[in-house]
Amino acid sequence: MAHYYDMSDFPLLLQQGINRVQSYLEDKHLLVVTPETVSLRVKQEDHESPDYRSRPLEERLTRIFGLDASLATDELLMELCRQFMAPIFARGRCYEDTLPTIKELRLRRVRTAIVSNTSWGSPAALWRDEVRRLGLDSFMDSIVFDRDMGWRKPAAQIFELTIKNLGVGPIDCLFVGDEPKWDLRGPRSIGMEALLIDRKGTMDGVEEQPIRSLFELLSKL
């Protein structure tokens, strides 16, 4: 629905986010670790759980910057998350086919939902603000991020919560995603059909034929 970065872009965005957090803590006289220590800890934190449990950004930043528990208030941690996410959100834009397709689906009385992992376990609240900024919130019957319930795609739990929110069965759903590793096995594990979208035509090693645009989705319903 929206584009922020390709995976090849993420190392730079990660560094930009960490730099912003570091500068913020320095301005607040809360920076207690050296840049070398920060760099080492970022590398240690740059992974996801093999069982697909979410690893919250707040906890990662606390470990990276050695924040004192008495100072790491909810307000401070949320601000650090905002600083971290700023370079990513600055790049966010809807694809040209997103809003027209969603509007047509609504006219057809098709219920719609967003199911998404968040970057580096960032808070769902920040992403809900982003969905509103992009003008997508009013078209969604449900919005579920991994941080809402602690499991990332392709874990079944995130899809199960979504269909519960929608009040439908998995057989009545079609999930569309752009990552074969996350977006096929997860929904299909609970009996939901899944479809890949490959706007650039660069998806390799995929047996099934992806669609190239959300407009193609309308003819498949």
Average the pLDDT over 127-139 and give the result: 97
* Whole-number Å distance between alpha carbons of 119 and 45: 13
pLDDT at 133: 97
pLDDT at 204: 78
pLDDT at 203: 84
Place of tokens 């609240």: 125
CA-CA-CA-CA torsion for 45, 51, 53, 55, nearest 10 degrees?
Answer: 0
User: What are the sequence ranges of the domains in the chain?
Assistant: 2-89, 93-218
Q: How confident is the model at residue 131 (pLDDT cuts 50, 70, 90)?
A: very high
Q: How confident is the model at residue 221 (pLDDT cuts 50, 70, 90)?
A: confident
pLDDT at 205 over 80: no
pLDDT at 169: 96
pLDDT at 206 over 80: no
What are the tokens at 146? 């991994």
* Whole-number Å distance between alpha carbons of 117 and 144: 9
In 3D, which of 110, 88, 126, 79 has the Cα closest to residue 3?
A: 88
Place of tokens 């607040």: 28
pLDDT at 207: 74
* Whole-number Å distance between alpha carbons of 48 and 51: 9
Within 10 Å of residue 70's Cβ, how many Cβ atoms? Answer: 6
Place of tokens 């449990």: 53
pLDDT at 58: 98
* Whole-number Å distance between alpha carbons of 98 and 119: 21
The SS3 call for residue 158 is helix
**118 within 8 A of 147, measured Cβ to Cβ:** yes
pLDDT in tens, 32-71: 999 999 999 999 999 999 999 999 999 999 999 999 988 8
pLDDT at 40: 98
At the fourth CATH level, which superfamily is domain 93-218? HAD superfamily/HAD-like (3.40.50.1000)
CA dist 137 → 64, 75, 95, 122 (Å): 33, 25, 15, 19
Average the pLDDT over 153-160 and give the result: 97
